[in-house]
């Protein structure tokens, strides 16, 4: 494992290994056990999309591991002024020990890894959100005691979250059901991958059919970052695709609810459901820190010289 570009690149065993390491690092932090495993290293953090959780969790995480985080906005880099990605990748590789990038095009992340010589971590693209889903799986496992055999249900837009939840969930042995409007289904590459899992995956436009018996329900905003101009159109298209008490009544009695945040209460999720499951949702937000620390350690930790 040289990079974290998308969960499609990882095996179920590699995902589980990252979750186990995240659990270990979380335990060490909570109990004051030193784990400065990246002492003296620098992580460049490229943000072409703004962020709360990604920015803070990566910057705090690399600091807790003994390293330094260097924030780089699109305005700080020549990549925002037309420099080819391959040139930026080769320059940054001379200065940094790793790069995290939060951007629009998946190809930009892939090119950074192809032309650079340091680990690249995908902090989010329009195609996928692997770091978020590692935190999601970590949280579900904490609350449920395991992952294999659980039913994961996603309601809403077939976006980067849907793509990564499908891949991550199936690879760790979960059953995955997705409900989206027909015009907003997940990426075809992901659906092709999921088709190999037979009846462990289902896609429908019926939210109640998708949620029946679900152990954990996920949702996300109807208009992701960069789609603000489509907000009114999407609000109409997603009417009825809401996680509410009626929907949860068809799920397992101890159903979890997860949201990657920010949440638009009253749209994809009701205020009452959000607040009833707030502890689970903010456990998930906290676990971004621990899961990403695991990714950084796995990719960036160097063997001792002697």
- Whether 104 is covered by a domain: the verdict is yes
Closest CA to 218 of 158, 155, 145, 174: 155
Domain of residue 20: give its range: 3-129+288-300
Q: List residues forming the annotated binding site for carbamoyl phosphate.
A: 51-54, 78, 102, 129-132, 260-261, 288
Q: Which of 258, 260, 283, 290 is catalytic?
A: 260
Same domain, yes or no: 115 and 140: no
Same domain, yes or no: 281 and 164: yes
Active site residue 208: no
- Whether 83 is covered by a domain: the verdict is yes
Active site residue 102: yes
User: Residue 171 has which token pair?
Assistant: 């690879």
User: Residue 255 has which token pair?
Assistant: 């159903």
- Whether 305 is covered by a domain: the verdict is no
Same domain, yes or no: 236 and 209: yes
Q: List residues forming the annotated binding site.
A: 51-54, 78, 102, 129-132, 160, 220, 224-225, 260-261, 288
Q: Which of 3, 37, 129, 234 is catalytic?
A: 129
Same domain, yes or no: 176 and 109: no
Q: Which of 132, 242, 258, 292 is catalytic?
A: 132
Same domain, yes or no: 137 and 282: yes
Provide the residue count of the chain: 306
Active site residue 141: no
- The per-residue pLDDT string of the chain (306 residues; one tens digit each, 9 = 90 and over) reads 999 999 999 999 999 999 999 999 999 999 999 999 999 999 999 999 989 999 999 999 999 999 999 999 878 787 756 788 899 999 999 999 999 999 999 999 999 999 999 999 999 999 999 999 999 999 999 999 999 999 999 999 999 999 999 999 999 999 999 999 999 999 999 999 999 999 999 999 999 999 999 999 999 999 876 677 788 899 999 999 999 999 999 999 999 999 999 999 999 999 999 999 999 999 999 999 999 999 999 999 988 766
**Residue 75, pLDDT score:** 81
- Whether 306 is covered by a domain: the verdict is no
- Whether 296 is covered by a domain: the verdict is yes
Same domain, yes or no: 29 and 89: yes
Same domain, yes or no: 101 and 200: no
Same domain, yes or no: 139 and 251: yes
Active site residue 235: no
Question: Residue 170 and residue 193: Cα distance in Å, rounded?
Answer: 10
Closest CA to 262 of 61, 6, 50: 50
Same domain, yes or no: 29 and 106: yes
Q: Which of 3, 37, 102, 259 is catalytic?
A: 102
Q: Which of 3, 220, 242, 283 is catalytic?
A: 220
- Whether 116 is covered by a domain: the verdict is yes
Domain count, the chain: 2
Same domain, yes or no: 112 and 30: yes
Contacting residues for 302 by C-beta, under 8 A, at least 6 apart: 41
CATH number, domain containing residue 152: 3.40.50.1370
- Whether 55 is covered by a domain: the verdict is yes
Q: List residues forming the annotated binding site for L-ornithine.
A: 160, 220, 224-225
Question: Residue 29 and residue 65: Cα distance in Å, rounded?
Answer: 10
Closest CA to 58 of 75, 73, 43: 43
């Amino acid at each position: 494992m040289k990079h974290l570009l998308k969960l499609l690149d990882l095996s179920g065993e590699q995902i589980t290994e990252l979750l186990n390491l995240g659990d270990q690092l979380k335990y060490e932090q909570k109990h004051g056990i030193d784990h400065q495993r990246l002492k003296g290293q620098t992580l460049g953090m490229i943000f072409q999309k703004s962020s709360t959780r990604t920015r803070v969790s990566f910057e705090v995480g690399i600091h807790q591991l003994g390293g330094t985080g260097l924030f780089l906005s699109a305005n700080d880099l020549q990549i925002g002024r037309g420099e080819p990605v391959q040139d930026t990748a080769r320059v940054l590789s001379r200065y940094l020990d790793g790069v995290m990038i939060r951007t629009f095009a998946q190809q930009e992340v892939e090119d950074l890894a192809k032309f650079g010589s340091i680990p690249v971590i995908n902090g989010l693209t329009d195609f996928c959100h692997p770091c978020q889903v590692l935190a999601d799986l970590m949280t579900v496992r904490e609350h449920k005691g395991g992952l294999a055999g659980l039913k994961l249900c996603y309601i809403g837009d077939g976006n980067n979250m849907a793509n990564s939840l499908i891949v991550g969930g199936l690879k760790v042995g979960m059953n995955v059901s997705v409900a989206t409007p027909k015009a907003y289904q997940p990426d075809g590459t992901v659906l092709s991958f999921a088709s190999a899992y037979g009846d462990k995956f289902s896609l429908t436009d019926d939210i109640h059919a998708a949620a029946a018996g679900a152990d954990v329900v996920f949702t996300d905003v109807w208009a992701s970052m960069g789609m603000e101009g489509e907000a009114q159109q999407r609000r109409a298209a997603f009417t009825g695709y809401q996680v509410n008490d009626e929907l949860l009544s068809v799920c397992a009695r101890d159903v979890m609810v997860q949201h990657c945040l920010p949440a638009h209460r009253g749209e994809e999720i009701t205020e009452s459901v959000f607040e009833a499951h707030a502890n689970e949702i903010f456990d998930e937000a906290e676990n971004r820190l621990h899961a990403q620390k695991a990714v950084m350690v796995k990719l960036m930790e160097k063997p001792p010289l002697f």
